[in-house]
Amino acid sequence: MDRIYSPWRSQYIESFNEEKKEECFLCGAIHSVNENKERLIIARESHCIVLLNKYPYNSGHTLVVPLHHISDLDDLTTDELVAVMATTKKVVSAMKDAFHPHGFNIGINIGQSAGAGLPGHLHFHIVPRWNGDANFTATISDMKVISTAMENTRLALIEKMNDSHL
Ligand SMILES: [Zn+2]
């Protein structure tokens, strides 16, 4: 993944050690009820959930997360693997409809040395990319602006994900 300058990620790095002691925030999101907005959840599928990354590399940065707290691809069942990829495809399609990105980075960081922010719970990153977006993100460092933009992004993706069920 390209290194995009994301000032708000320093907050994430700083909070990492504290978060490790608490319940995994992805499990927290999976087990939450009626907290979709607060938890940035876009969709709940049979084997995974879809949510916005609270500390995005880029606008629209989304995570597809298996329901089980597992750290490695080896631990995913074939059904889960298929479901995660099918969901990823659906999210990409919804992003194309909603935001018309020029490209995508899609991937997994396995292990802390590979840059996994939460090494205990496997998750797939989907990052939409636009020509020149590195310049765009550098100008958006106000957390309030980001929260508003993220809620709009979440609602747009929910709408497009629901369209794809028809
Ligand atoms: Zn977890």
What domains sit in the chain, N to C, each tagged with a CATH number?
Answer: 9-163 (3.30.428.10)
**Residue 135, exposed/middle/buried by CB under 10 A (0-12, 13-18, 19+)?**
exposed
How high is the pLDDT of residue 57?
82
How high is the pLDDT of residue 12?
56
pLDDT (tens digit per residue) in 130-166: 988 875 555 555 666 677 888 999 999 999 998 765 4
- As annotated, the active-site residues are 123
What's the DSSP call for residue 105?
E
CA 57 to ligand 1 centroid distance, Å: 21
CA 66 to ligand 1 centroid distance, Å: 9
CA 68 to ligand 1 centroid distance, Å: 7
The label of the residue with tokens 């995005």 reads 56
How high is the pLDDT of residue 93?
97
Q: In what order do the strands lie in the sheet with 124-129?
A: 41-44, 48-52, 62-66, 124-129, 103-107
How high is the pLDDT of residue 62?
96
What is the model's pTM?
A: 0.80
